[in-house]
Chains A and B, each alone.
Chain A
Amino acid sequence: MSETTNRLQIGQSVPDFELTTYDPTQGDFSEISLAELKNQGKWTILFFYPADFTFV
């Protein structure tokens, strides 16, 4: 099976993170950060998947 480590629990504060992204609406690379989304008053939904070129 898989081997994963402990994770954030429900109700815990998520540490700020930054990700380099490919943004399909711009057709370009970009950066996104949780701090920025929080400043905009937005909810964030993270959607992890195993690999590109497979089903999501």
Chain B
Amino acid sequence: MGAEVITVSTDTQFVHLAWQNSEKELRDVKYPMGADPTGKLSRQFGVYDENTGLALRGTFIISPDGTLFNSEVNFYNLGRNIDELMRKFKANMYLARKATEACPSKWKDEGDKTLEPTAKMVGKVWEALNE
């Protein structure tokens, strides 16, 4: 899909290996598991919790030119919705090519309705979405 997904925690690569080998839920995981035991990268992205030494559930989408396009941070006790992550990733890729368009909340994939914000659309968003 043209993207590298890297999972990152403050565990070492040795613990990543042990976990991936022992947890059946991770049998099919193919992503490189990044080790950030110093918390350096986690701090850069503002997800390092100084009180615990752990990283919050943060997701960051970076474009091929190195620009941060998207971020989402959840507290420890809230899991992420992968469908929504994929929706945002697809939208970011699409919008990187179509700078004048906008993907509304119900946009899911290429081919779905987009908006072209102009003076004509002011007060007429319903019409733009539904007609």
Contact = CB atoms under 8 A, between A and B. Distances in A.
B45 A11 contact: no
Interface residues on A, range: 35 or more
Q: Which label, helix, strand, loop or mixed, suits the secondary structure of the B interface?
A: mixed
A13 B60 CA distance: 12
A49 B55 contact: yes
A2 B65 CA distance: 31
A22 B3 contact: no
Contacts of A50: 9, 52, 54-57, 76
Contacts of B57: 48-50, 56
A10 to B, nearest CB: 6
A47 B69 CA distance: 14
Chain B interface size, as a band, is 35 or more
A56 to B, nearest CB: 7
Contacts of A21: 6, 13, 16, 32-35
Which of B31, B52, B61, B62 counts the most chain A CB atoms within 10 A?
Answer: B62
Given A20-B34, A41-B64, A5 B6 contact: no
Interface of A: 2-17, 19-25, 29-30, 32, 34, 37-38, 41-53, 55-56
Identify the 6 closest CB pairs spanning chains A and B, nearest first.
A7-B46, A19-B34, A22-B16, A21-B32, A43-B3, A52-B19
Given A22-B35, A24-B32, 7 more contacts: A5-B50, A23-B32, A32-B4, A41-B64, A49-B57, A50-B52, A56-B79
